[in-house]
Structures are given as C-alpha cells and as structure tokens.
Structure 1
Amino acid sequence: MKIALVTYLDQGKYDTETVESEDEKLLLFLQNKGLNIDKVIWNDPTINWDNYELAILKSPWDYFDLIKDFHQWLNILEEKSIRLLNPINTVRWNTDKHYLKEIQDAGLSITPSIFLNKFDEICFDRFFKEFDTRKLIVKPCISGGAKNTFKVTDSNKKEVAKKLPQLIQEEDFIMQPFLPEILEKGEWSFIFFNGSYSHSLIKQAKVGDFRVQPAHGGTVHPQNPSQNLIDIAAKYVNQFAKDCLYARVDGTFVNNNFLLMELELIEPFLFLNTDQQNYDRYYKALQELI
C-alpha cells in the first residue's frame, strides 16, 4: 500500500520548527516499520494522486488560507476513492468552528460562543454584558495559529470595532469570553489515537500573552490525568471523531467543569516527542485502521 503523509508548502509564513521536526521523526518511524510512505504536499500540482491508496493528514497548515482549494482537494480524493485519515466528511465538518454548536447541541460542554456574520452589528459592550466579562476573544470560524485573533478589552474595543466589520464581510467569526483559567491553569490537550487515549499535556502562555501555541512562546507540560478526566475528553472523541486516526481535545476547566475550546482533527501538533511510546500507539492505531 502506497501512503501519503500530507503536509504543506512552507513559504515561511508560519513558524513550523516543531511541526517539521515531528513530521520528519514520524515519517522515519513509520518507514522503519516497513510502511511505503512519502511526505507529500497536499496542493502540489505535480503529484499524481492515483499513485496513492491512503493519505494521512499531518500538517496541512495553510488549509484555512486556501479553504476552497482544500475542499476541492478533498473532493479529488473522494472521486479517486483514496482513503483519507481522518475521514473526508469529518475533516470537512471540522474546518469550520460552527461545529462547536453541533457539539453543544449534543449535550457536551463548550466554551460559550456567539457566531457572527456580515449582517450582525458589532457592539462589544453588549457582548461584555452577555458573557459577564470585560475580556473577549474573537477569531475567524475558519482559522488556525491565532490568525486574525483579537483579545478585546475596554482599552482596545474601539480599535477592534473598526477592523472587525471589514474582516467579517469576508468570513464568519466566533466570539467567546476570555477565560482567565487559561492563564491561571493552562489549556489541556488530550490526544487520542483511533479512539483510545494516548497522552495529554497542559499548554501555558508566556507572561504577558494569551496564546498558548509554542510559536508564540507557549510552553508544554506533560500530564498524568485521572481516568475521570480522560473519560470526559473521550466523550467528544466517541461522538464526533469516529474512525479517526488521531484527535486532539483542547479545553480548560472552569469551576471544575471541562469546557471544550477546539476538537482538532485536521492538522494538530500531536506532541509525540513527550514520550517515545506515543509513536508506538500512533502506529498501532494506524495498523488497526488499515
């Protein structure tokens, strides 16, 4: 079986040091296991996808900047009957953060959210009151890596109110209360392979910032959670990430209740380097699926 490990064309737009390291190490690990696998750029026009039977999404980091092309690429895989991990329909669903509403409707907790489109009036004072907070996070529904993400407070609400109407003409945004627990306790990530728990960690922002991504100075701290916490995270995977090679459940605890921030099913960093056994669990899950 010929397998494509799918990545993106690095044009220096994103900080990819950690991702490239994980990609290369995973690729070598899988090749050493005897798999016929290549690293392939998802939108490389020279690739003949007929040569591949299976494609594994790893780091298509630019998909949200090229969302129409990305969806067309998914269509091509579907037309050619090339199996994608994670499954194509699940990936389509996961590209847009409106999926959070579906998760909430299923009875699972998410960070309180309001979805905004070009017809909505932007009144931050109303949103401050509705969320009972003086700090908001606003970001596109199709985004990644803190792209066009704003932390809105009384001090900058007028500035953001001038920028956002123009941006919102192009795409929908999601607004959420800023959770101080992110700074105080960090953001949890629970990683599952083929529905089974593998490992977890807490990501913490650097002093003076609110973004937990390593590219923005965030730090990573492996955890050994209780079975109860694992079971909580597993509920999201069991309902919305069926037949997925990997799933990363990101969220934080507010008053001891877990609030989902994102269910990452497309291009999350998997923090495989926190334990060598993570690679073995990844491979075991892949073998189960193929």
Structure 2
Amino acid sequence: MKFAFAVYQVQHKYNNGTVRDEDADVLTYLQQKGLPIEKVVWDNPNIQWTHYKAVILKAPWDYHEKYSKFISWLDQLQNLGIPVWNEVDIVKWNSDKHYLADIAQKGLPVIPTRYIHQLDEVTESWFEGSDKWVIKPCISAGAKNTLLFEVAQWPEIASHLESWLKEEPYMLQPYVKEIQSGEWSLLYFGGKYSHSLLKTPKDADFRVQHYLGGKVDYRTASSNLIQQAQRYIDTFASNTLYARVDGVLINEVFHLMELELIEPYLFINGEESRLEAYYQAVLSKCPFLSGNE
C-alpha cells in the first residue's frame, strides 16, 4: 500500500514569489529514498482513501476556503483508522487561531490577541496601547481579509467587519513595528530544529508572505532564538512531523505570531540536508518504512 502526499488543486496564487516547486522536490526525494508515496489532491472525490497506508499533509493550501469539507475529510480519515501527519486532533486545533489563547495561557509570549464574535463586543478600551491594529479571520491563510488600520479608521473597518462576522469570527492584534525588521520562521522536523529564515515585507506593506512580495533571507537563528522557539514545539507540537514557528523579536524576546502545523511552506529550497531531515522525520513516524516495505 502506498502513502498519500496530500496537496491542493494548484491555484498558483500561493506559489508566487517561489523559484522551486517544493512539493515536487519533497515528493521526488521521498520516492528516491524508496518510499511508496504519490501526490493526491485532498478533496478529489474519486480517491479511495482506504487504498493508502497513511496520509502526509503537505500542501492543502485551500483548506480555509473549504473549511467544513476539510474537517469532514479529516474525520473520515480518522474514522477509517488511517494515520495522518500531522495528526488530526492537532490539525483541527491549529486550524482556528483561537489556539493562540491556549498558548498564551501556558505563559509563552504571543502577540496580544482579542477575538471578535460580535461587533458590539469591541469597545474603545480594546484599542489602548497602540495606534495601529491588524484584523484577520480566525480561520484563514494567505493573509485573507487581513487589514492594517489606524484607530481613527475603525468605523470604516467596522462597516466591513459587520458583514464578515456573519461568516466567521475575527481576531484583533496590535500592529508590531518589529515586523518591518523581519519575521523569523524556524522549521522543525520530528520536533527537531532544521533551519530558519527571516521574512521582511515589501515597501509600504506589513505582510511578509513571499507570494505577496515579501523577501526571504535564509539565516541561521541564534542559539538563544532556537531555544525560545523550541519551547512552543515542546509544549504544543512535540509529536509533529513538521512545524513552523513564526514570530518577531521584541527586546530580544521571541513573540509568537503563528504556530504553523497544517500546511506551512517549509522553505526547503532543494537543500539535501533539509530534505533528509524531513525524510528522517517521516521514518520516525513509521520506522518500518526504512525497510521500504
């Protein structure tokens, strides 16, 4: 039986700004290592999932656009007893950004976050401490409906938000000026640090995603930064196949922006050491693969 390498039906909007096809790089490397694995679009209705030994989530990048369907699919795999990496329960938890509150409750630094379920919950006191704020959906990816605004613009923002809240809750965070110096991304495979990079927004923007014009600079994080990021992995993602810890340094203290456990771009960039680290993490999940069963 083969393994499924779950991706989405390519829309290219999430690939802009990338030179290499990371999914193809990873899949080819795993196949060259002798793993019986093939690419499968996660929401293809013609797939017989019982034909697969396990499912590796790689790039279901449109899950937030088909959220109910995605959750139902995960439930289906779980009910069929098919292993999924990352595991279904942690993927569900990570799919809604209310998870940031769970992390903050453990005492780990997180960008302060408030959740908006109804517009009348928001009061003037919410905007104390910052002149600029960011709102985005609690279930989202790719900077969907992510807006930066000044407090004076709130009435205009609220007019949009009133209709958006009919579909889903939103989150409100203070704008962190440190983002202009760069957002760190640290990649972990099998709970172990692999590599890191610094992402900076293009001029006159605050979003660092590479497909929105952000710049990617591969850098080795300091040992102190790696240790700080490791705390999030050890507390919430120690049993994951892959994880990406995104955040900024504020007075040398790492503050989490997102803990990516579903479909993070891994920034492997064709480097064999990173591909090997990913492969070893797969083996750790399923040791019998080393025998190419």
TM-score, length-scaled by structure 1: 0.94
- In structure 2, do the counterparts of structure 1 residues 164 and 20 end up closer, same or farther at CA, with 3 Å as the change threshold? farther
Residues in 2 aligned to 1:66 and 1:19: alpha-carbon distance in whole angstroms: 27
Amino acid at match of 1:173: Y
In the alignment, what sits opposite 1:193?
189
Note the alpha carbon deviations across 1:34-63, whole angstroms, 9 max, x for none.
Answer: 111111011100000011011111110111
1:204 is the counterpart of 2:200: yes
Contact 1:193 1:244 in 2 (8 A): yes
- The one of 233, 243, 249 aligned to 1:237: 233
What displacement does 1:122 show? 3.8
Amino acid at match of 1:162: S
- The one of 262, 266, 277 aligned to 1:270: 266
Amino acid at match of 1:32: Q
- The one of 167, 171, 174 aligned to 2:171: 174
In the alignment, what sits opposite 2:282?
286
Q: Secondary structure at the match of 2:258?
A: strand
Contact 1:19 1:269 in 2 (8 A): no
What displacement does 1:19 show? 9.1
In the alignment, what sits opposite 1:256?
252
In the alignment, what sits opposite 2:215?
219
Residues in 1 aligned to 2:193 and 2:94: alpha-carbon distance in whole angstroms: 20
Note the alpha carbon deviations across 1:216-244, whole angstroms, 9 max, x for none.
Answer: 10011111222221111011011111321
Q: Secondary structure at the match of 2:255?
A: strand
In the alignment, what sits opposite 2:149?
152
Residues in 2 aligned to 1:127 and 1:89: alpha-carbon distance in whole angstroms: 32
What displacement does 1:155 show? 5.7
Residues in 1 aligned to 2:71 and 2:53: alpha-carbon distance in whole angstroms: 19
Q: Secondary structure at the match of 2:59?
A: coil
In the alignment, what sits opposite 1:70?
70
What displacement does 1:256 show? 1.5
In the alignment, what sits opposite 1:126?
125
Contact 1:222 1:274 in 2 (8 A): no
Residues in 1 aligned to 2:156 and 2:75: alpha-carbon distance in whole angstroms: 40
Identity %: 44
5+ residue gaps, structure 2: 287-293
5+ residue gaps, structure 1: none
Note the alpha carbon deviations across 1:168-211, whole angstroms, 9 max, x for none.
Answer: 1221111000000001x200001000010000010000011111
Contact 2:133 2:151 in 1 (8 A): no
Residues in 2 aligned to 1:2 and 1:274: alpha-carbon distance in whole angstroms: 24
